[in-house]
Chain A
C-alpha cells in the first residue's frame, strides 16, 4: 500500500544534520516556554520563529501545512471557548448573558499559540529525525533505553493506526455503512463504531510488537551498546548554548513578571 507509515521524510539541511539530542532539547525548551508564557505577544513570536526555522531547515512543508490544517479545529475551539468561559479584565461585548472580555480574548489567542507551538515543534523533530536517531537522542538526554524505545515507537505507530482505521472504514463501507452520512449526531455515532474495532486492532498490534521486540531480547539486563555513538559538532554546541541562554532569559522575564497577564 502506498500510505506513508512514517513521519520521517528524506531530506538534507542543518536541521537534518543536527544532533538529535540538540533537537530534543530544543523541543523541550519550546515546551517550557509555551507553558511559562500566557501572553499572546510572547507566544506568537516563537510560533513564527519555529515556522521560519522549518522553512530554512527544509522541513517538508506540505506535511506541516497538512498538520496545521488538521489542528485548525482544535486551535479554533481554544480561540472561541476561552473568551466565552474566562472573564478577566473589562467587558468588550455582551449578547444576553453571554459576554467576553479583552483579557479573555487575549488569553484565547495565547492558548491557540500554545497548542500550535507544542505540536509543531515535536512534529518538526519527527519529520527530520530518523527513528533510530530519535532513540539514540532520547537515550542521550538520559532516558532509559526501554522508555526511549517506547516513546519513539509510539510516534512510529501513529500513522500505522491511521492506516488500520482507514482499513476498518473501508470494510464498514463495503457493508453499507457510510460514515459521512447523516446529521452530526449520526456521524458521531458512526465514528464511534470505528473506535471499538480500532482499539481492538491497536491492542493486537501492540501485543504482536511486544512479542517481536521480546524475541530480540529487549528485556536483557546487560548494558546496551550501540553501533553508532552521538558526537556534538561545534555548531551543535552553539545551538545548545543558545537554547540554554534562551531558557535563562525566559525564566528571568517570567520572574520579573513579564509574559503573563496580571489579573
Chain B
C-alpha cells in the first residue's frame, strides 16, 4: 500500500480540520485524513460522531473553522458550486431531501441544466444514467411514487449524471430491504470499477467488511483508527470506544475459535474455509 500511496496524490486531503455549528461544542476536533483515487472508503461511528459533518466539508457545503480540506489540491470551500457539482457528488442520508422535481427525468436533468450543458449531451447522459441505476421505463413517474430503494437509486443517479470522480453516499442502504440494499451495493461497486472514488457512511458492518477497501472509525469528532477490515476489527478497544462491533460472523468465529475456526474470519466463506482446513489437519 505504501508504494501505491507514494505514487498517487490524494484526491481528498483533510488537514487538522476543526468545525462547530454556531459556536456550540466542537463537532470535529482536528481530523486529518487522506483519501486516494479509487478507494471505497467507509466512515463508521456512532450517531453524532461527526461523520456527516466531515463529508459535508468535501463538497464545500461546510467551511472549516480551522484546518483545511483540499479536493485535488484545491481548498474545497473556494471551488465554485457548479464546478464542485462535477467534482464531488453528494448523496444525502434521506433521498427525499434531495428529490424535488416532478418526474424522474426532470430530477436527473436538474444538475445538468444548472451546468448549461447542451440538450443532446443531456439526453445522452440521462439515457446512460437511467441504464446504470436501472430506472428504465420509470422516466415519467412521480419520484415519490417510487419505492424506497428506487428513490435512493434516483438520488444516486441525479448526481451520477454530472459524472463526478468522487461520490459521497451517506447511508446507502438504510431503510432498505436486503435485495434493495444488495442492488445498491452492486451499483456502488460498478461505479467504483468505472474508476470513481467512493466515500460512504454506514452503520452496517457487514457492508463495510464486504465492500470497503478502507475503514475510518470516528468518535466524538476525531478519527480513532483507519485501515482494512482485517486491521480495524481486531482493535477491540478502539471498537469499544466508538461503540462499534465487528460483523456478527467475526464474533461467532471468535467464540468458536477453539473448534478450529479462524478467530479473525470476517466473512462466511472465510470462516467455512478455515473450519474445513482445520478439519483436514485434525
Per-residue contact bits, chain A 163-191, to B (CB 8 Å; 1 contact, 0 not): 01001101111111110010000000000
Asked if A175 and B110 make an inter-chain contact with CB atoms under 8 angstroms apart, the answer reads yes
User: How big is chain A's contact interface, by range?
Assistant: 20 to 34
Chain A, Cβ-Cβ closest to B99 = A197
Q: Which chain B residues lie closer than 8 Å to A177 at the CB level? A: 81, 110, 114
Stretch at the interface among B82-90, B206-214, B263-271: B82-90
Per-residue contact bits, chain B 77-104, to A (CB 8 Å; 1 contact, 0 not): 0001110111001101000111110000
The distance in angstroms between the C-alpha atoms of A196 and B158, with both chains bound, is 18
Q: Which chain A residues lie closer than 8 Å to B22 at the CB level? A: 2
Given contacts A2-B24, A170-B61, contact A178 B100 (CB under 8 A): no
Interface membership of A201, Cβ < 8 A: yes
Interface membership of A200, Cβ < 8 A: yes
**How many A-B contacts if CB must be within 8 Å?**
64
Asked if B81 and A171 make an inter-chain contact with CB atoms under 8 angstroms apart, the answer reads no
Q: Which of B81, B100, B158 contacts A200 (CB 8 A)?
A: B100
A contacts with B: majority SS: helix
Asked if B100 and A176 make an inter-chain contact with CB atoms under 8 angstroms apart, the answer reads no
Given contacts A2-B21, A168-B97, contact A175 B159 (CB under 8 A): yes
Interface membership of B162, Cβ < 8 A: yes
Q: Which of B27, B61, B98, B115 contacts A176 (CB 8 A)?
A: B115
Q: Which chain A residues lie closer than 8 Å to B144 at the CB level? A: 200, 204
Asked if B82 and A176 make an inter-chain contact with CB atoms under 8 angstroms apart, the answer reads yes
Asked if B21 and A174 make an inter-chain contact with CB atoms under 8 angstroms apart, the answer reads no
Given contacts A174-B159, A176-B82, contact A201 B96 (CB under 8 A): yes
Smallest CB separation, B53 vs chain A (Å):
10
B150-167 at interface with A (beta carbon < 8 Å):
158-159, 162
Asked if B97 and A167 make an inter-chain contact with CB atoms under 8 angstroms apart, the answer reads yes
Smallest CB separation, B3 vs chain A (Å):
35
Given contacts A2-B21, A2-B22, A2-B24, contact A173 B96 (CB under 8 A): no
Q: Which chain B residues lie closer than 8 Å to A2 at the CB level? A: 21-22, 24, 27
Asked if B115 and A172 make an inter-chain contact with CB atoms under 8 angstroms apart, the answer reads no
Asked if B159 and A197 make an inter-chain contact with CB atoms under 8 angstroms apart, the answer reads no
Smallest CB separation, A213 vs chain B (Å):
21
Asked if B114 and A176 make an inter-chain contact with CB atoms under 8 angstroms apart, the answer reads yes
Asked if B97 and A175 make an inter-chain contact with CB atoms under 8 angstroms apart, the answer reads no
Those 10 A-B pairs whose CB atoms lie nearest each other, nearest first: A197-B100, A176-B85, A171-B98, A175-B111, A176-B114, A2-B21, A178-B81, A174-B90, A176-B82, A167-B97
- Residue contacts A-B, CB under 8 angstroms, 8 given: A171-B97, A172-B110, A174-B159, A175-B98, A176-B111, A176-B114, A177-B110, A193-B100
